[in-house]
């Protein structure tokens, strides 16, 4: 299907039909796997022309599809990146070997010694470590906001970041991991514009869309610059691969793709094929998971041993978070947290009694996964920063899968008896 023909098509359709033409694969209805590291040229001049087109963007082969070496690109990446960009509503996309490879590539591409980064709390533990522990070793600075719907809080954090150095990135993870806290993307774009006017260059707004994905939230529609998704999670959907994707404007993605040539953190042919296959069923899988999640969340909300539930469907009408959710999101997702009365001991007792739910990190798989955030996904985040983001010693993250909802509730019910 040509790019000219996708206007008006919904993401669910694009996930099945876009990015691959059977003519590319000898008539195969599904894309074949191109398991090769290198590609043959028909002549020495063609080889030179291919390299000129790739590295300089000039010459007779500009605009044509040619490959050199799989680290630079391969047919499977072409198919996946075209489909991902179409689903996200972006001009281009680039795929990586993991979600953290995507995050790290953005940092390496756009942050320099002396620069600052602004992000929210909570944020995924790996990203927290990237910007608060790793990047400062190269001279960058960081500031954080704790309420991504509060204009005063975000402005104060932005001023703090600019006082430390030139603000290059405004990072929003929404809903946030693990509490499902929402961030107002329109606010982030507006503040980026204002910061740009003050310091002479505009910071990029980077959104981690992993917890909802392209069918429940489309950040590009709100004017953000880069939309990052851990394809490992809902887009892969079976807990059997690692991948990450970034969508955005062509000039930004071209820069990232060229740097990927050097970093070597591209997505391999087989995993590209797996993600492309899985994208076709994301909408159906997430719809079932979200139905289950609501039933589980309602059970937990009413249980006397549960202190609170962060499920987006429970946001109070009339509040800032609810207004952002109504404007920005199409569904509540199926990953959220609940807080037990007590702390780590009570959480561990409950987790150790589970029979069906699997105690493991990650999320978005067909199976239901559950973990104690403070001692797993956010273990390396300092306790004070965890608490500032709403992660207590009694916080448990739950990624609801595709099992029968009554069985999930039954397992949680019997496990909570141990608390």
pLDDT recorded at residue 8: 79
Please tell me the total count of domains within the chain.
Answer: 2
pLDDT recorded at residue 356: 98
Q: Which two tokens stand for residue 1?
A: 């299907």
Do both 258 and 300 map to the same domain?
no
pLDDT in tens, 80-122: 999 999 999 999 999 999 999 999 999 999 999 999 999 999 9
- Return all residues near 142 (Cβ < 8 A) that are at least 6 apart: 116, 117, 118, 119, 131, 132, 135, 136, 161, 164
Q: For residue 298, is it within any domain?
A: yes
Question: 1 pLDDT band (50/70/90 cuts)?
Answer: low
Closest among 104, 99, 53 to 259, alpha carbons compared: 104
pLDDT recorded at residue 26: 87
pLDDT recorded at residue 418: 86
Do both 353 and 272 map to the same domain?
no
pLDDT recorded at residue 3: 57
3-state secondary structure the chain: CCHHHCCCCCHHHHHHHCCCCHHHHCCCCCCCCCCCCECCCCCHHHHHHHHHHHHHCCCCCCCCCCCCECCCCCHHHHHHHHHHHHHHCCCEEEEECCHHHHHHHHHHHHCCCCCEEEEECCCCHHHHHHHHHHHHHHCCEEEEECCCCCHHHHHHHHHHHHHHCCEEEEEEECCCCCCCCCCCHHHHHHHHHHHHHHHCCCCEEEEECCCCCCCCCCHHHHCCCEEEECCCCCCCCCCCCCCEEEEECHHHHHHHHHHHHHHCCECCHHHHHHHHHHHCCHHHHHHHHHHHHHHHHHHHHCCCCEEEECCHHHCCCCCHHHHHHHHHCCCCCCEEEEEECCCHHHHHHHHHCCCCCEECCCCCCCCCEEEEHHHCCCCCCCHHHHHHCCCCCCEEEEECCCCCHHHHHHHHHHHHCCC
Q: For residue 267, is it within any domain?
A: yes
Last residue of a domain, one of 231, 247, 279: 279
Do both 269 and 291 map to the same domain?
no
Q: How many Cβ atoms sit within 10 Å of the Cβ of residue 287? A: 15
Q: What is the CATH number of the domain that holds 235?
A: 3.40.640.10
Closest among 366, 306, 311 to 341, alpha carbons compared: 306
Q: For residue 32, is it within any domain?
A: no
Cα angle 399, 214, 170 (rounded to 5 degrees) comes to 90
* Whole-angstrom distance, CA of residue 277 vs CA of residue 270: 11
Question: 247 pLDDT band (50/70/90 cuts)?
Answer: very high
Do both 340 and 361 map to the same domain?
yes
Do both 236 and 332 map to the same domain?
no
Is the per-residue pLDDT at 224 higher than 70?
A: yes
Q: For residue 237, is it within any domain?
A: yes
Phi-psi region of 318 (alpha: psi -120 to 50; beta: other; left: phi over 0): left
Alpha carbon 312 to its chain centroid, in Å, reads 17
pLDDT in tens, 52-65: 999 999 999 998 98
Question: 24 pLDDT band (50/70/90 cuts)?
Answer: confident
Q: What is the CATH number of the domain that holds 309?
A: 3.90.1150.10
What integer best gives the mean pLDDT of the chain?
95
Do both 203 and 91 map to the same domain?
yes
pLDDT in tens, 288-338: 999 999 999 999 999 999 999 999 999 999 999 999 999 999 999 999 999
Q: For residue 128, is it within any domain?
A: yes
Question: 172 pLDDT band (50/70/90 cuts)?
Answer: very high
Do both 334 and 240 map to the same domain?
no
pLDDT recorded at residue 29: 92
Q: Which two tokens stand for residue 335?
A: 């990953």
Q: For residue 27, is it within any domain?
A: no
pLDDT recorded at residue 412: 98
Do both 162 and 222 map to the same domain?
yes
Do both 292 and 254 map to the same domain?
no
Do both 293 and 360 map to the same domain?
yes
Q: For residue 33, is it within any domain?
A: no
| 8 Å CB contact between 177 and 362 | no
Residue keyed to tokens 């963007």: 57
Which range among 62-66, 139-143, 190-194 shows the weakest confidence by mean pLDDT? 62-66
Do both 238 and 384 map to the same domain?
no
Last residue of a domain, one of 227, 248, 279: 279
Question: 17 pLDDT band (50/70/90 cuts)?
Answer: confident
Last residue of a domain, one of 279, 298, 318: 279
| 8 Å CB contact between 117 and 168 | yes
Do both 237 and 303 map to the same domain?
no
| 8 Å CB contact between 367 and 358 | yes
Q: For residue 126, is it within any domain?
A: yes
Range of the domain at 132: 75-279
* Residue 256 CA: distances (Å) to CA of 167, 253, 267, 410: 19, 5, 14, 47
Is the per-residue pLDDT at 388 higher than 90?
A: no
């Amino acid at each position: 299907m040509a790019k000219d023909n996708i206007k008006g098509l919904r993401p669910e359709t694009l996930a099945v039909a876009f990015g691959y033409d059977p003519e590319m694969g000898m008539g195969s209805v599904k894309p074949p796997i191109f398991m090769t590291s290198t590609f043959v040229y028909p002549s020495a001049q063609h080889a030179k022309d291919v390299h000129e087109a790739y590295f300089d963007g000039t010459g007779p082969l500009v605009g044509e599809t040619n490959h050199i070496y799989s680290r630079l690109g391969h047919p499977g990446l072409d198919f996946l990146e075209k489909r991902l960009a179409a689903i996200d509503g972006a001009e281009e996309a680039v795929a990586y070997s993991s979600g953290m490879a995507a995050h790290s590539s953005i940092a390496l591409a756009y942050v320099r010694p002396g620069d600052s980064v602004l992000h929210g709390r909570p944020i995924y533990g790996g990203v927290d470590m990237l910007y608060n522990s790793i990047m400062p070793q190269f001279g960058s600075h960081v500031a954080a906001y704790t309420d991504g719907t509060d204009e005063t809080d975000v402005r104060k954090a932005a001023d703090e970041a600019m006082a430390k150095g030139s603000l290059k990135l405004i990072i929003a993870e929404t809903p946030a991991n693990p509490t499902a806290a929402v961030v107002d993307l329109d606010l982030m774009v507006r503040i980026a514009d204002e910061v740009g006017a003050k310091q002479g260059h505009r910071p990029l707004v980077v959104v981690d869309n992993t917890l909802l994905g392209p069918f429940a939230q489309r950040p590009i529609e709100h004017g953000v610059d880069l939309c990052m998704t851990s394809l490992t999670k809902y887009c892969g959907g079976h807990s059997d691969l690692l991948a990450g994707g970034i969508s955005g404007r062509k000039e930004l993605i071209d820069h990232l793709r060229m740097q990927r040539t050097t970093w070597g953190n591209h997505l391999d042919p087989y995993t590209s094929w797996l993600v492309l296959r899985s994208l076709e069923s994301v909408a159906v899988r997430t719809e079932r998971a979200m139905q289950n999640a609501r039933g589980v969340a309602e059970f937990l909300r009413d249980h006397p041993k549960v202190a609170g539930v962060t499920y987006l469907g429970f946001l109070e009408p009339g509040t800032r978070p609810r207004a952002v959710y109504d404007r920005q999101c199409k569904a509540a997702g199926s990953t959220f947290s609940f807080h037990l009365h007590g702390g780590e001991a009570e959480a561990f007792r409950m987790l150790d009694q589970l029979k069906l739910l699997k105690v493991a990190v990650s999320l978005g798989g067909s199976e239901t996964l559950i973990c104690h955030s403070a001692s797993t996904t956010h273990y390396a985040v300092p306790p004070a920063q965890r608490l500032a983001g709403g992660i207590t010693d009694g916080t448990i993250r739950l990624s609801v899968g595709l099992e029968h909802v009554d069985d999930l509730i039954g397992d949680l019910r019997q496990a909570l008896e141990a608390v």
